[in-house]
Structure 1
């Protein structure tokens, strides 16, 4: 080895541009061995036989060389996950535009088809925490593949069902598949992304969900102009195949993180029954075919079962979900915000379809296109929510979004007063902006509040509340709409009893002229105004709760038992 060579001898050192040897040190020490750039490296070579600097630089070069591949794979994972999330979200609303076609094809009444719509959300909500627990135990990759497979198979069944009962079963199967897909996505993001990357990716979550909910009716309307109603389910099949291919080629096999708690079958059964019965009570609240005492009894049984689940979880040493998370104001405040937002959003999407089809006489395709302002607001706000949160903080961003959601519902109510679409579009835009601003920061608060081992079941709790409150928005706001319409239509001129139903009243009265048609329009308007006022009230209550519960500065401590900040 030659250190500090003479003028007459030019050692075979690497050029200064070499990634192994950069800086002024190379000009001071001419080294014949690659990677030895300083005197300290030479000493290290003599002592250890290999310079540590060379090893570090080679590791860095290896990391740099592999980075484009990693970025490409990670982008593929995110794209695959969000494609499936779009599919899951679109199935919440794509069926809304097909209600008349399904009723005619299967010979089913509107309440029966409405139950098929709600069966998806009902099974989705009641299965989420159990599915999330399975995700934590068996891993995100396998759970995601199972969820996609079940969802795709159920969609294929739904495209060719011979009866409304079979349609309900297929929708329930889609709900089971979706219950595995959503927590698996959260788990994948927790595994594949850094904290900063996760914040950026989760900021797109509301845009994907909202676009699915908003674009679903448009897509459904396009399909129904050319194909039978089964096409709205058949379109899920190629999406599912793409997601499965992405799972096989992009998502790495990982051993699930060790779970110290044992399974909790008692808690799982109590939760499944409680959520299913309570959500059924919410859904059947709009069904006048059931006596009032039965609907009230369903709600009471569901609530008591959920109370029993809570008592059991507090006493057992192996809870299905650590209820200590709810003692953290960050987690609870974010869940409350998401619940209020989804109540208003799902209810608004449902009512907007009634507004445009029954109030304005639009076709399903036109009605779906009428929701585009909601999608625009969601996209714009989702792309800017990270910057807004960095500037004003998570609490202020979430609260602003809830305020915009309440304002949007109020504008929709004003639009319904005289059935004006431009004002409805402004209300939908406000709802989209509110959703896009709030959901990303709220999701980040929830995910960062969870231990890595609880990412699946913890995110399932949040998704469960979203689905229950989303179903509640459709059911409660739909109930208020039906009640307002019915009260108004009954006080009018002598009309057939069948006009008490909005869909049948539309067929009987809306295409006519004179007093009956005017009274029908006034009745639709009356019901819509009352329903959207209800949505604005719920969003306002959620806003007040968030202002009280959510701390100004948030903690991301991941151990419920040790949380002292925000508790």
Structure 2
């Protein structure tokens, strides 16, 4: 009988870095919080920004959708390039640069004078966010030992979900006392504190064999996504997909994305390594993350209008209604890795998506007079589901790659998350606006013809026209609210169907037990990723996935970490 080695595995992280690993994680979580928090803060401020000057900017629904998506599309398009920059130039340098760009763009956004300016500055914020997010996860992978890494990644993923949940509360508090620009200005002091802490605590690291840039791939991905999202949003705005402006733009976007995929599969230095999707574990985890953010960001877009325009809540009250979701995230996300250890990633991720789908089905019970406690239950269920989706999926992606390619894995998961969010806002926003326009069409027949199209764009536009018509316009208020609730129900039903389909796909394809770098596979004791930390995986017969293929520099024991 062969003897088994006893004791803890040998340490691969320098002792001085290992001692302050939790402080490093705290600084990284702070930087991540400010980047993700800003998107969810914007949600609660949308109704205020839609209000005419001087209170807001007078943005219509399409401009509000672009204010969100200009950030997410630039973010998604640059993530892989940002990960490679971190691997090549040093992750700490790229992290600091990203935070400075994000802080400067936040300052510009706070004082934007028009919806177009806000959209442009939000795009610049996307550049900063893209530089920050992938390197945070790559640094975590390099300062934590394999046995502690799932817990650290779980906290990282929990911070993403928590920021989404507490953003509306923060935004509500700010809007109670300050102007709409305060939801962006609040980022600046946080960025200053985070940058100082990074100089002091975070070590430098880089990939000994970084990849090359792919500017063609970056350009094609951004152009293709922008064209596709424009077509989806514009189609909903016009309530007509047959006009050339809509179908031609959408077709052009799909063709550019097809060209992007063709280019990425043939270049030896892709901006987005699509070959990673040949790994079943990676592909299933990506689907999990994509679906979760597709439905959550899309539903979050309309929920603020329900709370403020239908229920009449203030921004602060709307934010507080999201508190149960934040509590659930805070309670369950840090423990998600332990649940994965007991039940397996497949069960946990599919179960989390099922809970999220259940929360969308519960929205079908919501109307203009639903008790606040029922809304709190729905948001708590949603938060519990989210907390069990992102952590196991993120760990699954990172476990399928060697440590030296942590930046690539981080960028891939973050890109999928942002593309899902952008398409969710566009697609589900279009479902909502089209259904709402159909529902309010009959009541709008009573107002002047020149006002009907504008009034039908959104509930906020309808209420604005109603207010401008005085007593005559009051007859529009209740029908508008009823039409919005009906549109919300349809959008929730679509979201639930998509999420349940995702749960089935995840349960079918995500492995039950994840292979982890640095140890034996928990399910079988061996496996493709069961080799010693940092060694090159030996591909099985027929396995051509990049995570299994040797690459220059992948034989290094770990990334160089400078203290």
What TM-score range do you get, normalising by the shorter chain? 0.7 to 0.9
Distance 1:464 1:202 in 2: 17
Deviates more, 1:375-384 or 1:236-245: 375-384
Instruction: State the match for 1:388 in structure 2.
Output: 339
Shift of 1:337: 0.5
Instruction: State the match for 1:170 in structure 2.
Output: 121
Instruction: State the match for 1:532 in structure 2.
Output: 492
Distance 1:561 1:354 in 2: 53
Distance 2:438 2:89 in 1: 53
Flag the 1:392–1:369 CA change in 2: closer, same or farther, 3 A.
Answer: same
Shift of 1:155: 0.7
The question of 1:89 aligning with 2:36 is answered yes
Shift of 1:80: 1.0
Contact 2:84 2:212 in 1 (8 A): no
Larger RCO: Structure 1 or Structure 2 (Cα < 8 Å, ≥ 6 residues apart)? Answer: 2
Distance 1:362 1:441 in 2: 36
Instruction: State the match for 1:299 in structure 2.
Output: 250
Structure 1 residue ranges without an equivalent (≥5): 1-59
Distance 2:237 2:171 in 1: 25
Contact 1:337 1:542 in 2 (8 A): yes
Instruction: State the match for 2:430 in structure 1.
Output: 479
Contact 1:406 1:535 in 2 (8 A): yes
The two structures have a TM-score, normalised by structure 2, of 0.83
The question of 1:269 aligning with 2:219 is answered yes
Secondary structure of the structure 2 residue equivalent to 1:263: coil
Shift of 1:321: 4.1
Distance 1:70 1:262 in 2: 28
Q: 1:324 aligns with which of 256, 261, 275?
A: 275
Instruction: State the match for 2:3 in structure 1.
Output: none
Instruction: State the match for 2:539 in structure 1.
Output: 562
Distance 1:473 1:372 in 2: 22
Distance 1:516 1:320 in 2: 50
Flag the 1:373–1:286 CA change in 2: closer, same or farther, 3 A.
Answer: farther
Shift of 1:405: 0.8
Shift of 1:490: 1.3
Instruction: Encode CA deviations 1:122-163: one digit per residue, 9 max, x unaligned.
Output: 211222122222222222111101110110111111122233
| Matching of residues 49-448 of structure 1 within 5 Å | 70=17, 73-103=20-50, 104-105=52-53, 107-110=57-60, 111-259=62-210, 261-288=211-238, 292-416=243-367, 419-448=370-399
The two structures have a TM-score, normalised by structure 1, of 0.82
Contact 2:364 2:489 in 1 (8 A): yes
Secondary structure of the structure 2 residue equivalent to 1:195: coil
Larger radius of gyration: 1
The question of 1:551 aligning with 2:497 is answered no
| Matching of residues 465-544 of structure 1 within 5 Å | 465-492=416-443, 494-496=445-447, 497=452, 498-500=454-456, 501-507=458-464, 516-544=476-504
Distance 1:564 1:296 in 2: 44
Instruction: Encode CA deviations 1:299-319: one digit per residue, 9 max, x unaligned.
Output: 222222222222223223333
Contact 1:152 1:237 in 2 (8 A): yes
Count of residues paired in the alignment? 502
Instruction: Encode CA deviations 1:311-360: one digit per residue, 9 max, x unaligned.
Output: 22322333334433211110000000111111121122222212211221
Shift of 1:251: 1.3
Distance 1:99 1:160 in 2: 16
Shift of 1:515: 5.7
Flag the 1:89–1:301 CA change in 2: closer, same or farther, 3 A.
Answer: same
Secondary structure of the structure 2 residue equivalent to 1:491: helix
Distance 1:411 1:79 in 2: 36
Flag the 1:301–1:560 CA change in 2: closer, same or farther, 3 A.
Answer: farther
Q: How well do the aligned residues superpose, as a CA RMSD in angstroms?
A: 2.7
Contact 2:81 2:213 in 1 (8 A): no
Shift of 1:254: 3.2
Shift of 1:282: 4.1
Contact 1:204 1:382 in 2 (8 A): yes
Flag the 1:263–1:490 CA change in 2: closer, same or farther, 3 A.
Answer: closer
